[in-house]
């Protein structure tokens, strides 16, 4: 699955810097991070986001399926959660499989309905 661990850029070209994770696993992983960090903003800081106003914005964008997971941030999240990266890679998926419906369902299933995009 190593080759699949590469996301697709805006032009459909392979982009080794980003990956798409299946909606259910992506939301579950970020929820674990939020619980451990204490807030979405603190999780954003732990993942290397530096915005003073809202460091969790990038985390929310990823959780909502609006952008791929930067591999560098995924590695920081895996390290923060003590979750082996090799156990995450099987959940890498093609970007067109990340749909608004699958994301809404995952957010509701994990009790994060407040993050469902309007």
- Express each pLDDT in 63-84 by its tens digit: 999 999 999 999 999 999 999 9
Residue holding tokens 């699949």?
Answer: 4
Residues linked to residue 19 through DSSP beta bridges, in sequence order = 69
pLDDT of residue 51: 86
What's the pTM? 0.84
Q: Could you count the other beta carbons within 10 Å of the beta carbon of residue 100?
A: 13
Question: Is the sign of the CA dihedral 86, 7, 115, 106 positive or negative?
Answer: negative
93/5 Cα distance (integer angstroms): 8
pLDDT for 80 equals 98
Q: Is the pLDDT of residue 9 over 60?
A: no
Hey, where are the domains in the chain?
19-111
pLDDT at 15: 55
Give the pLDDT confidence of 14-51 residue by residue, as tens digits: 457 999 999 999 999 999 999 999 999 999 999 999 98
């Amino acid at each position: 699955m190593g080759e699949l661990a590469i996301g697709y850029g805006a032009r459909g070209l392979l982009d080794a810097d980003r990956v798409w994770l299946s909606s259910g696993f992506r939301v579950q992983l970020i929820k674990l991070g939020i619980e451990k960090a204490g807030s979405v903003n603190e999780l954003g800081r732990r993942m290397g986001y530096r915005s003073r106003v809202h460091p969790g914005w990038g985390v929310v964008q990823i959780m909502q399926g609006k952008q791929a997971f930067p591999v560098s941030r995924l590695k920081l999240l895996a390290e923060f959660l003590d979750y082996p990266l090799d156990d995450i890679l099987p959940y890498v998926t093609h970007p067109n499989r990340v749909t608004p419906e699958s994301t809404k369902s995952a957010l509701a299933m994990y009790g994060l309905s407040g993050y469902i995009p309007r």
